[in-house]
Amino acid sequence: MQKDLELELYQSMYRMRAAERAIQQEYPNNQMKTPMHMSIGEEGIVAGICTALKEKAKFYGTYRSHALYLAVTEETDGFFAELYGKVTGPAGGKAGSMHLASPDHNLIMTSAVVGTTIPVAVGGAFREKYMNTDKIAVVFFGDGAVDEGVFWESLNLACLWKLPVLFVCEDNGLAIHTPTSVRRGYDSLGKIARQYNCLVYDSFEQTDVLTIHAMAKKAYAEIQRFRMPALAIIPYYRYLEHVGVNEDFDVGYRSCDEFEQWLAKDPIALLRRRLINQNQENAVVSIEDAVNKQIFISVQKAKDAPFPRPEELYRGVYGE
């Protein structure tokens, strides 16, 4: 069982990394005309949580949506089609990279204005409580979103009405290029959150996907048991520039040394080493081969797919 879980998590994370490596290769051809906010480095968070809460949660995210989309849907055909603006994408090309979502897979919404999906998830959690289901809402956002008033409004509301929502702060310490040290008039988000009537999970020292997976399982159980929301604060490192497919260590706001310290605990490399040590090399390589092949095919399909027809411009502004 544990071995199967580890392989499943490895496949999930490897798919994310390989898909974004493919984007890095293809993006310079200027056929994917959409701003890319890359997930490389954060894969452990979404892989761990979404794998743990599949079928048990509805997910909400941000414009840094690639890894989340792949974690929830486990598919790459629609993913690349959306990036190429093709009609075969989950939003028919209207959404692009910043709004990747698939309500059919319970990835309800992602958004390009910081903090905006946080209250939406709280409303989604209200619906689950209202209808007396056992689902929770899970919303991912960066540490920059914590600067927004709407984060605190949403946290308060969820605590007040005891709503089943897991807030996940993907804490990379940067809002675009501005570190928390010049944005925050306080020391610890976790300390403040403990004053609210919610559960707080913030003891992550590393990026290990298994730790995150276990936290998500525990969070789900405790949200149901204690009838209160939860906040997880999980540190990670953004390997690439804020928007775009390249590294930006040359511009001076952060150092390459810092990056190398994080790279040493890269979530995908960590799990790969563990699996190899367990004599799982064949399984690992066969996952990698299958994913690489699948991505190659998905990119080709996306390139070959048609663009939406002109009448699509007006479709979907209003419902009937």
Partner 1 sequence: MHHSQDPKNFTGGYTVSKRIITYAQAINEALRQEMERDSSVFVYGLDVADHKGINGTTSGLAEKFPGRCLSTPLSEEALMGFGLGAAINGLRPVNVHIRVEFLLVAFNQLVNMLASARYGSNGKLSVPIVIRVLIGRGWGQGFQHSKSLQSIFAHIPGLKVIMPATPYDAKGMLIAAIRDDNPVICMEHRFLFWQEGEVPFEPYTVPLGKCSILRSGSDVTIVASSWSCVDALDAAKVLERKHNILAELINVRTIAPFDDATVNQSVRKTGHCIVVDSDWTHCGFSAEVAARVQEDCFGSLRSPVTRIGFAPTHCPTTRPMEDLYYPNAETIIRVTEKKLGLKPADLSDEKFHNYENKFKGPF
Cβ atoms 67, 42 nearer than 8 A: yes
Residue 120 or 192 with smaller CB distance to partner 1: 120
Interaction of residue 263 with partner 1, rule CB under 8 A: no
Interaction of residue 88 with partner 1, rule CB under 8 A: no
Q: How far is the CB of 254 from partner 1 (least distance, A)?
A: 30
Interaction of residue 92 with partner 1, rule CB under 8 A: yes
Q: How far is the CB of 316 from partner 1 (least distance, A)?
A: 4
First to last CA, the chain: 48
Interaction of residue 309 with partner 1, rule CB under 8 A: no
- One symbol per residue from 203 to 242: x for binding partner 1 (CB under 8 A), - otherwise; what is it? ----------------------------------------
Interaction of residue 243 with partner 1, rule CB under 8 A: no
Interaction of residue 125 with partner 1, rule CB under 8 A: yes
Three-state SS sequence of the chain: CHHHHHHHHHHHHHHHHHHHHHHHHHHHHCCCCCCCECCCCCHHHHHHHHHHHCCCEEEEEECCCHHHHHHHHCCCHHHHHHHCCCCCCCCCCCCCHHHCCEHHHCEEEEECCCCCHHHHHHHHHHHHHHCCCCCEEEEEEEHHHHHCHHHHHHHHHHHHCCCCEEEEEEECCEECCEEHHHCCCCCCHHHHHCCCCCEEECCCCCCCHHHHHHHHHHHHHHHHHHCCCEEEEEECCCCCCCCECCCCHHHCCCCHHHHHHHHCCCHHHHHHHHHHHCCCHHHHHHHHHHHHHHHHHHHHHHHHCCCCCHHHHHCCCCCC
Residue 131 or 251 with smaller CB distance to partner 1: 131
- One symbol per residue from 21 to 60: x for binding partner 1 (CB under 8 A), - otherwise; what is it? -------------------------------------x-x
Residue 109 or 169 with smaller CB distance to partner 1: 109
Site for partner 1 (CB under 8 A): which residue of 12, 39, 73, 111?
111
Residue 149 or 185 with smaller CB distance to partner 1: 149
Residues 130-189 that bind partner 1 (CB under 8 A): 130-131, 137, 149-150, 153-154, 156-157, 160
Site for partner 1 (CB under 8 A): which residue of 191, 273, 293, 315?
315
Applying CB under 8 A, the residues found at the interface with partner 1 are: 58, 60, 90-92, 94-95, 99, 101, 103-104, 108-109, 111, 113, 116-128, 130-131, 137, 149-150, 153-154, 156-157, 160, 315-320
